[in-house]
Structure 1
Amino acid sequence: MPSSPEVSIIVPVHNNEEQVEAALKSCRAQTLENIEIICVDDASTDRSAEVIDAAQQLDRRIRLLRLAVNSSPFQARRRGVQAALAPYVLFLDGDDELLPGAAEKTLRRAQELNSDLVGFGIDVVAASRDSVADFERRLQPRYAELSHEAVLPGLFPPEGPVQMQVWRYLFRTELVRLAYSRLPSTLRLYRADDLPISFLAAAAARQYSSVPDKLYRYHFQRGPSGRRVETTDQFAFYLHSIDALDALTQIVRQQAAHGGSSGETLLASYEAAKLTVIGNVVKYLPGLENPSLAASCLEVLHQRVSEQDTVRAMEQRSSGPQPRTAPEIQPLTGSTQQLR
């Protein structure tokens, strides 16, 4: 492997022995050869590490880092970012795949426009295409380019709902490191773990661009999400999403207080993200088939978020994204490496 890879692909892994071989195969098949593949095993209890070890024997570009105790996808990605040698990073979950041109096409776009963030299309795999068509549509890039103050509201539209997945972007590595540096080093996030990094990166980015190609294959509901709630303990798992909001709240308020009009934009985008996260939790509330369990889960929810925000989140989910004009795209001036 060359000493200076152009893109680092970071793969957090936890008990993905059945899928991680395909994930790594998709990395090894990248048309851009000058990459490194950093697998971070988050204390798996299955054969995930053995599968990665075997892949290392086939490809020296693969590196395996191990966390001694399960620390959450948030921390696994942090460890990968810390170890990355390339100026740009892609994130790949251990149960998904990259399409062959992902690294090459996004890097080329980043270099053309000196972009901090490059978005791209997502291919959603599910048993029924009809069940994921709207979701897949929402994951596709909305803008070809965004600059300066237009980046955050373009990626986190104040009217919501928002998409917060980190695997939707190629990131400038220093941008992600800056985002992580603003969050506690011991923070563990098991739900909505993408939000703090994608939001803070978008808030700091000076230039965003995108490619329309679908470059990531996401397997819908392959993980623990989407399972029916039958106990309050199960609902509490989904409620961990609120931890991601708690991690961001103080940072956003402090930055907004000194940001003038940009501070108002920051708060509006954060509010949309907050309601999206709450709305994603609300969808797991049991229905009329179990009113007593639904009432118990709702009581647990309101220990973390207000009834008013719950109602607003439900309204946001029911209304969906509204048509809007593109944020003002400012001319490309100065270096986009100047992070705010």
Structure 2
Amino acid sequence: MPRFSIIVPAYKVQAYLGQCIDSVLSQSYEDFELIGVDDRSPDGCGQIFDEAAARDDRVRVLHLPENVGLGRARNAGLEVATGDYLLFLDSDDTLTPGALRAVADRLEECAEPEILVYDYARSYWNHKVRRSRDAELFSRPGPEVFSVGERPELLGLLMVVWNKAYRRDFVEQQGLRFPPGYYEDTPWTYPSMLAAERIALLDRVCVHYRQRRQGNILSTSSRKHFDVFDQYDRVFAFLDSRPDLGHWRPVVYGRMLHHLHTVVSRPDRVPADARREYFRRAARHCRRHRPAGYRPAVGPESARLRLLARGRRRSYAVLRALEWLRREAPGAVRRMRHAVGRPLLGAYQRIAQRLPVRRDLAVFAAYWNRGPSCNPAAIHAKLRELAPHIETVWVVDRRRRDEVPPGIPFVHPGSRRHRAAMARARYFVNNVNFPDSTVKRPGTVHLQTHHGTPVKYMGLDLQEHPAARMDFERLLERVDRWDYSLSSNRFSTLAWEGAYPAGYTTLEYGYPRNDVFYTATAQDVLEARAELGIPEGAVALLYAPTHRDYRSSYRPRLDLARLMQALGPGHVLLTRMHYFHDRQDQTPSQIPDGAVIDVSGHPSVERLCLASDGLITDYSSLMFDYANLDRPIVVYADDWEVYREARGVYLDVLSGRPGETPGAVARDEQELISVLTSGAWRDESAAGLRAAFRERFCEFDDGRAAERVVRRVFLGETAPLPHLPWAERRPAPDPVTALTQRGTVPAPAQGADRDGLDRLRAFSPS
């Protein structure tokens, strides 16, 4: 029998669940069982629990057949718990290091109390940690073990179950179980604290209580907050059944009144159209349970509490408004003065924002208004096909207007037409964030497509890295506008949800920009090569390094002349600098004409991928897209240690482990030349790494991502197209196969690696 049973229910918290589980399994005290309860979670929570159970036999997993809510999910864990003591841990919170050892030692010191109460700290998204406001209660002098009658101030603690250890036989003796609905801790904590005869304290932070910016169920506007009335009915029913505890009724009533006020005073809880009913229910509730002669304590909230208890909604609202004016009036006057002085276009936009939202208008942008490209461009094309009734407009920088394909409407940032579109459009699609001035109007839909699977740290994960130069508060204000976040694999889903915590819905649909890798034909491949001037039979390698945050400019430390001399005739290098730099320095004169082609300004990186025989990159997300083509990938990273420390990484692409490294690896120029000239870049070992990498990171890409997005976001269809099984996915043929299918496979160009071409045929997808 274990000392502790730690019950962790989970529902839609996949971004945090792994940290929660790890905080338990890494404890120095090991005598416990962790009972993970998958409350029919629609995301990856069940799989995360199963993976933990597979690596640690102290983990037991319950998969509930239907979603039952937090309380009843805890009950399911209770039914199978075998530990001496029960601990409850919410799936987005964590145990602090050494917490279980401290709890075990304190229980032994206090001779097995029925309840041990320990402290917690609030953990914020910006890594700040703040101990609970009641921390001083734990250090007050008093008896080691006591009843709540000896320490009544404990009833003023946050009434939750995850800051306590409960002796299991006490729980069974009292018949404690969690009810359904919101605020399910209330009918458990009050009865247990009042009934316990032996309570002890541990003056230590044992839990980090995550303060989620969004997604906290109690911060969701819903009529479910009316459950608070039923929960207190249960508490008073318990007191009615225990006449010996009746003297606690005034204390519990006072705590209830404060709780009812907390719920209604938060603008994100009771819906506006339900506040009248909430006040009526509160008045009836207070009349039913009010002890004779009760008077609320004098304090800043006393007037509000009296009005709430009487159901005086309008008087309550007037009082709150007067309090707000006294507090906010000076700032409001300053803001009004500033608004009057804004430019005329700003006034125009504010007027436009008062007009109805246009349900048939969508605004698209990509890469800070560089023009149609990436996932937004693929979604735009499919939208025109499936929903031509929706008018579209792109936001394009004035310097890029000549690069916009014919027939695509666009506006320039800051123009009157741009402000009108931003003020009234219903749909907003971007692979980065729209500007801070963008207003998220009710009824609008913002889709964040992202622009790659992340190797490097993103969002809030950058806070402790020197390469980060951003205002994280502003960043999160932009993220709060998202309604949907697009993901091409589960790895990205977890990264985005952790780095950008907000209330959006993740769409695991694949990347629309990668659809072309499954829809392109052999003719498309050959035409792409012909457009670039790649000779038939030549081996074309696409070299695409990424940006370095720790450098103001970046030129790859690669001697192109030396590389091309080593490769010899019959090889072509397509060089594409990151879009932050656009074009590389002029190609050295000693390189033969046509051997190196600068494609930095090419409008479609996807078409470059189709034209190439292999990819050379470093930490660019392009490797994850390119893996869809099942063609060789070489990682050339000569500054890995610096990059990893400056930016932080989620993935060690140089490790050589299947599922992390996409192919052959080179750490310096000579090693890169050796990899390319020896054929190691496309041998059987490289193909095996590529297969594992593709299986992990291309799991949702099958050529239909754009259609899934359009049907869900624009057409309102909730059931996405199923993903094609791996056996049915057919990527575009590589250049050698494309020539074979056309029936004109020329002899390799002079100097080309004939054996290498044969090997390439051998490893080309069928």
TM-score for the superposition, normalised by structure 1:
0.75
Q: 2:122 aligns with which of 121, 124, 140?
A: 124
Structure 1 counterpart of 2:192: 201
| Structure 1 segment 38-49 matched on structure 2, within 5 A | 38-49=35-46
Bigger RCO of structures 1 and 2 (CA < 8 A, at least 6 apart)? 1
- Max Rg structure: 2
Structure 2 counterpart of 1:31: 28
Paired with 1:317 and 1:252, the residues of 2 have a C-alpha distance of 29
* Compared CA separation, residues 101 and 174, structure 1 to 2 (3 A): same
Contact 1:6 1:34 (8 Å CA) reproduced? yes
Tell me the CA shift for residue 18 of structure 1.
Answer: 1.2
1:269 counterpart = 2:251: yes
Q: 1:63 aligns with which of 51, 60, 63?
A: 60
The AA in structure 2 aligned to 1:305 is A
Tell me the CA shift for residue 241 of structure 1.
Answer: 2.5
- Structure 1 unaligned residues grouped into runs of 5+: 288-292, 320-340
* Compared CA separation, residues 279 and 139, structure 1 to 2 (3 A): farther
* Compared CA separation, residues 217 and 5, structure 1 to 2 (3 A): same
Tell me the CA shift for residue 23 of structure 1.
Answer: 0.5
1:88 counterpart = 2:79: no
Structure 1 counterpart of 2:134: 138
* Compared CA separation, residues 140 and 118, structure 1 to 2 (3 A): farther
Paired with 1:96 and 1:176, the residues of 2 have a C-alpha distance of 23
Query: Could you list the runs of 4 or more consecutive aligned residues of structure 1 that deviate by over 6 angstroms after TM superposition?
Result: 312-317
Contact 1:14 1:48 (8 Å CA) reproduced? yes
Tell me the CA shift for residue 316 of structure 1.
Answer: 7.1
User: What SS does the corresponding residue of 1:44 show, helix, strand or coil?
Assistant: coil
Deviates more, 1:216-225 or 1:57-66: 216-225
1:105-150 alpha-carbon deviations (Å, 9 max, x no partner): 11221122121111112121124799x95x8213664456451352
Contact 2:191 2:238 (8 Å CA) reproduced? no
Deviates more, 1:278-287 or 1:39-48: 278-287
1:153 counterpart = 2:159: no
Structure 1 counterpart of 2:352: none
The AA in structure 2 aligned to 1:10 is I
* Compared CA separation, residues 46 and 315, structure 1 to 2 (3 A): farther
Paired with 1:42 and 1:140, the residues of 2 have a C-alpha distance of 36
* Compared CA separation, residues 317 and 23, structure 1 to 2 (3 A): farther
Structure 1 counterpart of 2:279: 302
Contact 2:159 2:185 (8 Å CA) reproduced? yes
User: What SS does the corresponding residue of 2:48 show, helix, strand or coil?
Assistant: helix
Structure 2 counterpart of 1:167: 162
Tell me the CA shift for residue 304 of structure 1.
Answer: 2.4
The AA in structure 2 aligned to 1:220 is Q
Structure 1 counterpart of 2:98: 101
The AA in structure 1 aligned to 2:277 is V
Tell me the CA shift for residue 305 of structure 1.
Answer: 1.6
Deviates more, 1:15-24 or 1:118-127: 118-127
User: What SS does the corresponding residue of 1:148 show, helix, strand or coil?
Assistant: coil
Paired with 1:313 and 1:14, the residues of 2 have a C-alpha distance of 38
The AA in structure 1 aligned to 2:29 is L
Contact 1:235 1:285 (8 Å CA) reproduced? no
Tell me the CA shift for residue 182 of structure 1.
Answer: 5.5
Structure 1 counterpart of 2:180: 188
1:210 counterpart = 2:186: no
Structure 1 counterpart of 2:466: none
User: What SS does the corresponding residue of 1:249 show, helix, strand or coil?
Assistant: helix
Tell me the CA shift for residue 269 of structure 1.
Answer: 3.2
* Compared CA separation, residues 194 and 169, structure 1 to 2 (3 A): same
User: What SS does the corresponding residue of 1:124 show, helix, strand or coil?
Assistant: strand
The AA in structure 2 aligned to 1:137 is R
* Compared CA separation, residues 316 and 18, structure 1 to 2 (3 A): farther
The AA in structure 2 aligned to 1:273 is R
User: What SS does the corresponding residue of 2:253 show, helix, strand or coil?
Assistant: helix
User: What SS does the corresponding residue of 2:133 show, helix, strand or coil?
Assistant: helix
| Structure 1 segment 233-312 matched on structure 2, within 5 A | 234-255=221-242, 258-259=243-244, 262-264=245-247, 266-285=248-267, 294=272, 296-306=273-283, 309=286
* Compared CA separation, residues 269 and 196, structure 1 to 2 (3 A): same
Paired with 1:317 and 1:169, the residues of 2 have a C-alpha distance of 31
* Compared CA separation, residues 242 and 128, structure 1 to 2 (3 A): farther
* Compared CA separation, residues 95 and 182, structure 1 to 2 (3 A): closer
Tell me the CA shift for residue 21 of structure 1.
Answer: 0.7
Structure 1 counterpart of 2:315: none
Structure 1 counterpart of 2:2: 5
Paired with 2:101 and 2:86, the residues of 1 have a C-alpha distance of 12
Contact 1:113 1:209 (8 Å CA) reproduced? yes
Tell me the CA shift for residue 271 of structure 1.
Answer: 1.2
Paired with 1:138 and 1:297, the residues of 2 have a C-alpha distance of 33
Residues paired across the two proteins, number: 289
Paired with 2:296 and 2:264, the residues of 1 have a C-alpha distance of 8
Contact 1:276 1:317 (8 Å CA) reproduced? no
RMSD: 3.1
Contact 1:81 1:176 (8 Å CA) reproduced? no
* Compared CA separation, residues 53 and 235, structure 1 to 2 (3 A): closer
The AA in structure 2 aligned to 1:237 is K
Paired with 2:285 and 2:299, the residues of 1 have a C-alpha distance of 12
Tell me the CA shift for residue 176 of structure 1.
Answer: 2.6
* Compared CA separation, residues 268 and 152, structure 1 to 2 (3 A): farther
Paired with 1:117 and 1:19, the residues of 2 have a C-alpha distance of 28
* Compared CA separation, residues 313 and 278, structure 1 to 2 (3 A): farther
